Structure 1
Amino acid sequence: MKICAITMVHKDYWALNQWYEHFGGHIGHENLYIVSHGYDPEIQRICPKASVITIPRDELKHFDRVRMRLINGFQSGLNNIYDWVIQTDADELICFNPNKYPSFQALFESTSAPALFALGLNLAEIEGDAPLEEGEKVFPSRNVAAVTGNYSKAWAVRKALPLRWHGVFCGHRKTADFPFEMPDDVFLVHLKHANSEALKETNAVRQSVADSVGEDWSVNGWAKPDFHAKRFFRKLAAAKELPWDDAVAYGYEQIRDNPVRDPERGIVKPPFINYVCRTILPEWFADV
């Protein structure tokens, strides 16, 4: 089985290094494709064995929609070569319990669905966590997370199905029957809040982008990024804490059992429920 992964990035070097090492360790670094938004030799340095595709960074207004069409176009092309294409943001990792799935291939062989979703976990750095050293993997040092519908995204396709608004575009007539496949023990982990030093750098870049575009910029979390970060940590602290097994069961109940089927836009996606609960990751995450 041939599997690849694709992402698009501008700076965000710490998260990109985590993405590169995580997916490269599972499916081979040569099967990674990175779309660099603007020429940046640092990306090739961080990801020396990946294929880096550079696109111009000269027009940012309405770019989120352009970005969605662009990366889905690359994904569609890769679907002609690979059996499965993984598509995530650079600060998102797909993690599965190794006791259930020994590899991505075993995971994909276990399903007949055309696309897969994963239960979302928003990983956090909390008070008392030691700073991460350069090149250090995140999971041995971070284990507090919020279960979230917002990041229970579609992340892999076996056909040229566009990913949109955290879900799958399957066509206006197919939303009622399209499978919302979210396998047990598979998680999409969002890393944005897991490294406070990297978060400062990322927020500075996002604020600069929002300021340069002005009032037409509407990408959530980019305008006023410091406000969004403070709100995340405040709501994480206030969320109900549950043991891992209970948190996952509750997350599936709230998210997997309630997909959003939108025939007007032809989209099947997770419900945008943030801060379902807070939990501590099990030890197996340290080895993923």
Structure 2
Amino acid sequence: MQTAAALTMVRDDTFFLKLWLHHYGGLLGRENCYVINHGSGSRVADMARGCNVIGIPGDPHRNFDMKRWRMLNNFVMGLRCYYNHVIVGDVDELVVLDPEAGSDLFSWLKTVPTNRVLTPLGLEVIHRIDVEDERIEDYVLGPRRHVRPAPHYSKPCVVSVGTKIARGGHFTQYDKLHTPQHLYLLHLKFCDMTAYSDAMDRRNAVTAATGASVKEAAIGRHWFAETRGEDHEVFAGFQALRMQEGFEMGPLRRHMHRSWAARGSTGYWAFERAETDTQYLLPERFNRLI
């Protein structure tokens, strides 16, 4: 059995795909990276050379998320036959290991028992446009150092057991919660205002092509133009988040465990996703990690 594979699905999001490929391709080797190319775009195929690229049709569909996660579920379960761990998520989500652990993610995964689901703590990298002028080229962390807690992105995304993953990747039917101390999921949607605007233009076009409203479609609300707001105001608003001293994430993980419970009668398990109005400065040891 190989140690780990990474799996994502992407449609024309080349800014985030570049970061995803640099991160997982460097850690796991491109031969262990699986990119589902929604729409079989040539730019995605060219960028992901050396990975396992799977082209699929890109026709607009109002049940996009349901179809996508049904397929990802099946891919994850298939890859488990050949890998101890499968990391699955959106192209703008990267699992990282705090350098304080004294290891890289791949080496650390070699030591992690199988037959479980790992849930990294979700942190959203935010572009503080008032103080961060440097453009993102090869690395995000360094030019961007601010993060806000994102319980919505504390996803059960490192899978080594047979289970079902819910639409969006937010829940599984695995009934135990494993939140390793140094493991994080960094959500990059807001890491750069220009990249955000470009990505939202594309996603708004996808939802418009379905002809469905927010209530009629199985697609995240954040993909719809009517929920978008004004981009500059969104990023300027990050200044109002309360800056916290230090980088102590233990209380956030403990809250996850205290509220862990079955999600009704769905078969899924979850913790309470309490939103906060806080932000943190990442320690310098994270610079150039992604």
Select 2:204's aligned residue among 207, 210, 218: 207
1:128 aligned onto 2:131: yes
Deviations 1:234-273 (A, max 9, x none): 6633332212333x13322333432342141111234333
Q: Distance in 2 between matches of 1:130 and 1:57?
A: 36
Displacement, 1:125?
1.0
User: Is the Cα contact below 8 Å between 2:121 and 2:184 reproduced in 1?
Assistant: yes
The change in CA–CA distance for 1:108 and 1:145 in structure 2 (over 3 A counts) is same
Query: Is the CA contact (8 Å cut-off) linking 1:146 and 1:279 kept in structure 2?
Result: yes
Matched residue, 1:46:
47
Query: How far is the alpha carbon of 1:211 from its aligned partner?
Result: 1.6
Distance change in 2, residues 1:269/1:166 (3 Å): farther
> What is the TM-score with the length of structure 2 in the denominator?
0.88
User: In the aligned structure 2, how far is the partner of 1:28 from the partner of 1:279?
Assistant: 31
Matching residue of 2:76: 75
User: What is the CA-CA distance between 1:94 and the residue it aligns to?
Assistant: 0.8
Compute the RMSD of aligned alpha carbons. Answer: 2.2
Match of 1:96 in 2: 97
Q: Distance in 2 between matches of 1:58 and 1:245?
A: 44
Query: CA 1:24/1:201 → structure 2, altered by over 3 Å: closer, same or farther?
Result: same
Percent same amino acid at aligned positions? Answer: 24
* TM-superposed deviation, 1:4: 0.5
2:40 alignment partner, SS class: coil
Instruction: State the shift of 1:79 in Å.
Output: 0.7
Query: Following superposition of structure 1 onto structure 2, how do residues 52-201 of structure 1 map, counting pairs within 5 Å?
Result: 52-103=53-104, 104-107=106-109, 109-111=111-113, 114-126=116-128, 127-134=130-137, 136-164=138-166, 165-170=168-173, 178-201=175-198
Structure 2 portions without partners, runs of 5+:
none
C-alpha contact (below 8 Å) 1:121/1:189 kept by paired residues? yes
**SS class of match (1:180):** coil
Distance 1:22 1:58 in 2: 29
Q: Give 5+ residue unaligned stretches, structure 1.
A: none
Question: Structure 2 counterpart of 1:239, which letter?
Answer: L
Post-superposition offset of 1:278: 0.7
Does the 8 Å CA contact 2:126/2:144 hold for their aligned counterparts?
Answer: yes
Residue 60 of structure 1 deviates from its aligned partner by 1.3
Q: Secondary structure at the match of 2:221?
A: coil
